[in-house]
Copies of this chain bind each other. A is one copy, B any other.
Amino acid sequence: MCSSLWLGTLLQSRWRNKKCHWPSLIAAWLRSSPDCLGEGLSLLPTPHTFTPSSFLRPGQLSNVDLNEDISELETELPRPYPNEIPHNEKLLSLKYESLDYDNSENQLFLEEERRINHAAFRTVEIKRWVICAMIGILTGLVACFIDIVVENLAGLKYRVVKDNIDKFTEKGGLSFSLLLWATLNAGVVMVGSVIVAFIEPVAAGSGIPQIKCYLNGVKIPHVVRLKTLVIKVCGVILSVVGGLAVGKEGPMIHSGAVIAAGISQGRSTSLKRDFKIFEYFRRDTEKRDFVSAGAAAGVSAAFGAPVGGVLFSLEEGASFWNQFLTWRIFFASMISTFTLNSVLSVYHGNAWDLSSPGLINFGRFDSEKMGYTIQEIPIFIFMGVVGGILGALFNALNYWLTMFRIRYIHRPCLQVIEAMLVAAVTAAVGFVMIYCSRDCQPIQGSSVAYPLQLFCADGEYNSMATAFFNTPEKSVVNLFHDPPGSYNPMTLGMFTLMYFFLACWTYGLTVSAGVFIPSLLIGAAWGRLFGISLSYLTKGSIWADPGKYALMGAAAQLGGIVRMTLSLTVIMMEATGNVTYGFPIMLVLMTAKIVGDYFVEGLYDMHIQLQSVPFLHWEAPVTSHSLTAREVMSTPVTCLRRIERVGTVVDILSDTSSNHNGFPVVESNPNTTQVGLGLSAYPMLLLKDFRDAYPRFPPIQSIHVSQDERECMIDLSEFMNPSPYTVPQEASLPRVFKLFRALGLRHLVVVNNHNEVVGMVTRKDLARYRLGKEGLEELSLAQT
């Protein structure tokens, strides 16, 4: 316990007397110090007298080269995914750092803010809007690029395979076709997997769990780098072209986020270019706001759902609802879908008709043609139950698979081989199913892009082949809108079954790919099957349009897997373009979520937990009122004195066994029993120097401090936040949680009745408590 203190937050700083220049030291705050030094403070010698002559000179940057250190650091940073997933879901990893959504009000920050007048704030505001517009445009363009490239490459592949099949159908030897198809797929997927596994593993998967974590306030290394974006875009193109059971929509969210993070900082560290613009935004608070906008723009481009995008960002990221921020996010979303719409309309030759608001469009569900009646609502709810159960099954299977992967497939080359295997198997399964299928449909009047005749009569095509020869997006729309009778129930059943397992196997591979579209496709298939059965049972009543049930099935399956609620309803509503469908979709999603939650968590949450990320949910567990801050906090905590010896500070900061990066700064002057806290979330000794380095500060170990410098005294009062948030130790966990979550804090100081620092609450202390099946449970902490 640190007695009689003076609290402040140490974030951005400079010298009191300008006599002792010390940026390199404070830079070290980043790498942090021991959490539990115990009575470390008492080991320190009594404060030296204040001797200005022993201070460093300003402007003397010691022997630290920022750029060099950064590049060094970059390669040293741990690769978080998927190599190092711990083997136990009841763990919280200590390796993740937090973002700080609270501005540290130290003297430098306040001086800067006070210098800015009203007009300058308006300029900043205008810049924010410009950035959002740019985010929207670029995200839209990236989506267009992906769409066009995928369409052309996939078309090319299908034409080659189709010609080959057509050739060999007549003269026998279709196994050559199978071989060709499997090889083509495996080859393409290999390239996609290699770039992900060897260059940027964080680009694997849909990126939604990673973005959820980032918006929640957890720093995931590399997640918003330009390199990640490039790998992601190439990876997703190759995965889709490779015929895997994946979609290109999920990755758009990640792409939008990276674009936003890049633009808002006005530079790219990967390209080593600094445009010297938008420097005001180089802090966690601002960056996170823009990343929200980017994620929203991504959703908007993927589904043509600008409102859904905004709600997605808010649902995943917002801690404090801000009208202006939301409005900017909406602006970015709108621009994004508009850009995509314009470019794709021009590309498809019918300029200005603006008929492609998203990468996937569900087509119009007109109330007149495909309305639903109130009696159908119980049926929809039943479909929600089915979706919930199937979704839980999907997640459970994927959980086991992921555990298997963690244990046995953690080397990149193995991962690539697995991806190739899946691609080949997908092709083989597709081929066998097409081969075995005897479901022929008349070619006339259908809108199939690559009709495959195979063994069908002339003028007919193999219906199973459409499902595998289209991109999954097209298949979904076909299932929604093809007239009744287009599909054989047997075909649909087999397809559902196969695709379910393929999609489940595919999610978690080391490729960039989303799970939205496969889920929709599985759901649409069994939904349509359900509709056909219903129509059969009711002797073809007019209201049993199978397309409607395909939609509900798609919603149920997707809801059962990802368990998103509000945003998913709005996304589905916007994608169908029909407000009256909102009500049944909401009911279906709600049912699927409730049923699914009964068995197992949502897919994204599951993967977040498997990575042991200290993720903060919306509220503290309901039964946690019996816990107080005293029981929750980390203790003892290392305190610094307001006037401290440089050597002491270096020693504390260099100790790498720390769990957090904040240090209370205390003062024990009997006359002024000041209370305060010094934190060093990120150190900005010289404001400009360190804003340039944001967010990759050099570590303390890279800085040489001479013995003379170690004997210098430093006054920390200008570096720290003099008014940090504190809670009394009697406060209950929900109260602490609310304060922490609502303000997006990184550190929260716990004080006792004497106003002495007794502990510190950080993200992991709060994320540790979880509501399990048997009530409150506590996760253990691990350094993995």
Q: Which residues of A contact B (CB under 8 A)?
A: 6-7, 103, 105, 110, 113-114, 116-118, 121, 304-307, 310-311, 314-315, 318-324, 326-327, 330-331, 334-335, 337-338, 341-342, 352-355, 357, 367-368, 371-374, 565-566, 569-570, 573-574, 577-580, 582-583, 586, 590, 618-619, 622-623, 625-626, 629, 672-676, 722-723, 725-728, 730-732, 735, 738-739, 742-743, 753-755, 771, 775
Contacts and interface: CB of A to CB of B under 8 A. Distances in A.
Contacts of A117: 623, 775
Contact of A320 (B103, B320, B569, B730): B320
Contacts of A320: 319-321, 738, 742
Contacts of A337: 579, 583
A730 B338 CA distance: 47
B672 A754 contact: yes
A124 B565 CA distance: 20
Q: Sort A-B residue pairs by CB-CB distance and give the 5 closest, nearest first.
A: A723-B731, A674-B753, A113-B625, A755-B755, A321-B321
B675 A728 contact: yes
Contacts of A753: 6, 672-676
Contacts of A335: 583
A557 to B, nearest CB: 20
A617 to B, nearest CB: 9
A330 B566 contact: yes
A755 B676 CA distance: 10
Given A623-B121, A725-B739, A732-B105, A673 B352 contact: no
A31 to B, nearest CB: 27
A110 B367 contact: no
Contacts of A373: 352
B374 A625 contact: no
B723 A728 contact: yes
B723 A114 contact: no
B622 A330 contact: no
B726 A726 contact: yes
A307 B573 contact: yes
Given A673-B754, A722-B728, A754-B673, A121 B374 contact: no
A622 B320 CA distance: 17
Contacts of A739: 725, 743
A117 B623 CA distance: 6
A583 B341 CA distance: 11
A325 B739 CA distance: 18
B618 A324 contact: yes
B306 A341 contact: no
B565 A323 contact: yes
Given A105-B735, A730-B723, A314 B321 contact: yes
13 contacts: A114-B626, A305-B579, A307-B311, A319-B320, A319-B321, A320-B738, A324-B618, A327-B566, A331-B590, A338-B583, A342-B374, A357-B580, A742-B742
Contacts of A573: 307
A357 B622 contact: no
Given A118-B623, A327-B565, A371 B352 contact: yes
A2 B629 CA distance: 26
A504 to B, nearest CB: 27
A726 B728 CA distance: 10
A272 B735 CA distance: 35
A129 to B, nearest CB: 9
A354 B376 CA distance: 13
Contact of A354 (B311, B367, B566): B367
B625 A110 contact: yes
Contacts of A569: 330
Contacts of A723: 629, 727-728, 730-732, 735
A380 to B, nearest CB: 13
Nearest to A732: B105
A32 B770 CA distance: 40
Contacts of A105: 731-732, 735
Given A118-B771, A723-B727, 17 more contacts: A103-B735, A315-B323, A319-B321, A320-B738, A322-B618, A327-B565, A334-B582, A334-B586, A353-B367, A355-B367, A357-B580, A577-B577, A673-B754, A675-B728, A675-B753, A722-B730, A723-B730
A373 B306 CA distance: 19
Contacts of A625: 110, 113-114
Nearest to A339: B583
Nearest to A361: B579
A577 B578 contact: yes
A147 B627 CA distance: 52
Contacts of A775: 117-118
A507 B304 CA distance: 38
A579 B732 contact: no
A655 B728 CA distance: 31
Contacts of A6: 753
Contacts of A629: 723
A730 to B, nearest CB: 5
A525 to B, nearest CB: 26
A368 B118 CA distance: 46
A371 to B, nearest CB: 6
Nearest to A573: B307
Given A105-B732, A117-B623, A330-B586, A323 B355 contact: no
A342 B314 CA distance: 31
B674 A579 contact: no
A315 B326 CA distance: 9
